Chains A and B, each alone.
Chain A
Amino acid sequence: MQIYTIEAILLLFLIFITICIIYSRDILSSVVVYCGFSLCAVLLYLMMGAPDVAFTEAVIGTVTTIFYIVALRKIDRWCK
């Protein structure tokens, strides 16, 4: 029963983070919060018994964050 509670909390957190990413005016903070999204997804995959997928998600979350931040040097940080 407790594991379901933790899963429900993590799923709600995923939805909350997604809404934050969509409505944020600062693109850099969106990228950083996306890291938290990736972390919650990793924990969920681990609880559902897929450590391989969790590992892939962790690695891809790290590298895509780096790519987004490098790409942000070109464009303006604030969206108008």
Chain B
Amino acid sequence: MMKDPFGGIILNIAFRVLVPFSIVYAVYVLIFGEISPGGGFQAGVALSVGVVFSRLILGEDAPFNISGASALILAGIGTFIFVFTGWISVLTGGHFLDYGKLPLRMEHVNEIHAMGILSIEVGVTLCVMATVITILDAIVKRSDDNGSA
């Protein structure tokens, strides 16, 4: 946790106005990643920007804060979602990440493909977001331990 955050009145107000929009935009990028530029990686980094900014600007009393330990657990959950989606199709008689074999009741096979890709992107998003937060946690902890110049 940062001992002396970067905050000031301009940064606080800009944080309150900008971060909700950035989070909504990240969810849009995640959902529309198949038919437009974007995808899990970009959405994950854009989601983590909210947490990173809140930790940098507000310091100890950040409103939505994810600590380093729970970020590691979240990264594991994201990886698990990815691998689990891959193994479901193996269990139903296909190859790894064979979206056509997913046990979903849909009219068209393209819809099953879209659902499979979406669930994998959700896993990638969680993993990337938690990893960026963990990197920030490591940098901040090291600079707090040694004192700032």
Chain A contacts to B: CB under 8 angstroms: 51-52, 54-56, 59-60, 62-63, 66-67, 70-71, 73-77
Is B49 a contact of A52 with CB atoms below 8 Å?
Answer: no
Contact residues of B between 1 and 58, Cβ < 8 Å to A: 29, 37-39, 41-42, 45-46, 48-49, 52, 56
Contact digits for B81-103, partner A, Cβ 8 Å, 1 yes 0 no? 00000000000000000000000
Q: Which residues of B contact A75 (CB under 8 A)?
A: 149
Please count how many residues in chain B sit with their CB below 8 Å of the partner chain's CB atoms: 23
- A-B contacts counted at CB < 8 A amount to 48
Is B42 a contact of A55 with CB atoms below 8 Å?
Answer: yes
Q: Which residues of B contact A52 (CB under 8 A)?
A: 37-39
Is A70 a contact of B56 with CB atoms below 8 Å?
Answer: yes
From A51, which residue of chain B is reached at the shortest CB distance? B37
From A52, which residue of chain B is reached at the shortest CB distance? B37
Q: Which residues of A contact B147 (CB under 8 A)?
A: 74
From B145, which residue of chain A is reached at the shortest CB distance? A74
Chain B contacts to A: CB under 8 angstroms: 29, 37-39, 41-42, 45-46, 48-49, 52, 56, 132, 135-136, 139-140, 142-143, 146-149
Docked complex Cα distance between A62 and B42 (Å): 12
Q: Which residues of A contact B132 (CB under 8 A)?
A: 63
